Each structure stands twice: as structure tokens, then as C-alpha cells.
Amino acid sequence: MAAATNPVMGREPLPDFASLVRANQAMVFSIALHYAHDRSAAEELAQDVFLQLHRSLGDMQSAEHAARWLRKVAVHRSIDHARRSRFRPQVGLEDAPEPVTPAAAGDPMLTERLRRLVASLPEKPRAVMILRYQEDLDPEEIAATLGMPLRTVKSHLQRSLVMLREKAGRAFTPAAGRQNLSTEMGEVE
């Protein structure tokens, strides 16, 4: 498959569509999965995002630009999907007993609990958490992706982390969490 035309001279040619799909499908699918809550709906959502990329390929300037574009579109379409379906799973805490010892790295029970807690957040705070912890964006990048004021991003992060720390149980030491939170957030409103 021929590489897509890159209209900007002197830059690396834009990878072909198939390469862009392979490079970004995990990111797009995972974002969609946090909102769609079942695999087939997430795949459908992700496919729609890539077909939209396909239609807009001529506007892409680089692989990085395409990745940023995909991330933004995936988040916005996922939020729209969630708002239309208005489904947020209730977290059945009885099904995820509170850990009594500090969580070891890769604790599958804690991982699942956290995933479900994040999935129970409202759409925009959930997007902030996904962009922070799945995509490793800093708050300024999150604000640009979501079209949200920086202070709102920080507020969502702070509140969500507080909730997660409370509900995830004694796995996390509150004092250490607060210290790291203030370090991470800088000045928090």
C-alpha cells in the first residue's frame, strides 16, 4: 500500500494508513473500551475513528500528528457515545474486596478494582484519568486534547485520585499519596 502523500516538504513521509492503524489501534481501542464497556462496541467505536482518519488522511502532517489527532477524536467520540448511552457501571464493591495489605506491583485484583473505579467516573474526569495514566500526557497536554481549562484538568485529577485512594482501600498509604499528589499537581486549586 503506497504511503499517503505528505504535503509538507522536507518532513518524514506520512506512514501509510495500515501502518497508522497498527501503530495506534491499541491506544484508540483502549480509550473506547473505557467508555463502551464491551469489546464489540469498543471495536466498532475504534473502527469509526480510524475510518474518520482515513477520510482525513490528506490533512495529516506526520505520524505524531496523526497519533495526536486519533487520540483527540477517540476521546471525544467515546465521550459522545457514553453520553448517548448514559451507561456507567455501578461498582460492585462486594465483588472486589478491599485489599488488606499494601498492593504489590501487578496485583490483578487491585488492577481490576481500579479499572472499574475509573470506569465509574463521569465522562470528562474519566477522560482526564485515561489521558494521564494510559497516555502519560501531562496536564497541559490533557487540557489541549480535551479543550478544557488547565485548572479544570487539575481539579478532575485531584478529585478522582482522592476518590480512588479512598475506595481502593488500604493498599495505598494516605500520607504518601497526598505528598505525591501535591508534587504531581503543583499548585492545586
Partner 1 sequence: MSRLDDALREALRTQDPGPEFTARVLTAAAGARGKQSWWQLPRLRWATAAALACVLLAGGSLEYRREQEERQGRLAKQQLVLALRIAGSKLNLARDRIQRLNAGD
Partner 2 sequence: MKYALVLFFAIGPLLAQDVKLPAGIDKLAGKASEVVDVSLDGAMLRLAGRFLSNHDPDEAKVKNIVNGLKGIYVKSFEFEKEGEYAPSDLEEIRRQLRAPGWSRMVGVISKKGGENTEIYMKLDDDHVGGLVILAAEPKELTVVNIVGNISLDDLSSLGGHFGIPDVETGKENKKP
Q: Is 187 in the site for partner 2 (CB under 8 A)?
A: no
- The secondary structure of 73-130 as a DSSP string is HHHHHHHHHHHHHT------GGGSPPPSSPPPTT-HHHHHHHHHHHHTS-HHHHHHHH
Binding partner at 102 among partner 2, partner 1, none, C-beta below 5 to 8 Å by kind: partner 1
> Closer CB to partner 1, residue 44 or residue 155?
44
Q: Is 5 in the site for partner 1 (CB under 8 A)?
A: no
The binder of partner 2 chosen from 2, 9, 10, 90 (CB under 8 A): 90
Find where cell 463521569 sits.
122
Q: What angle do CA 146, 84, 49 make, to 5 degrees?
A: 55
SS3 104: coil
Binding partner at 118 among partner 1, partner 2, none, C-beta below 5 to 8 Å by kind: partner 1
Binding partner at 111 among partner 2, partner 1, none, C-beta below 5 to 8 Å by kind: partner 1
The binder of partner 1 chosen from 21, 91, 148, 185 (CB under 8 A): 21
Binding partner at 89 among partner 2, partner 1, none, C-beta below 5 to 8 Å by kind: partner 2
Q: Is 86 in the site for partner 2 (CB under 8 A)?
A: yes
To the nearest 10°, report the CA torsion of 76, 168, 180, 126: 10
Is the backbone of residue 186 left (phi > 0), alpha (psi -120 to 50) or beta?
left
Tell me 1's DSSP state: -
Q: Is 13 in the site for partner 1 (CB under 8 A)?
A: no
Q: How far is CA 152 from the centre of its chain?
A: 16
Q: Is 109 in the site for partner 2 (CB under 8 A)?
A: no
Q: Is 120 in the site for partner 1 (CB under 8 A)?
A: no
Residues that bind partner 2 (CB under 8 A): 37-38, 86-87, 89-95, 122
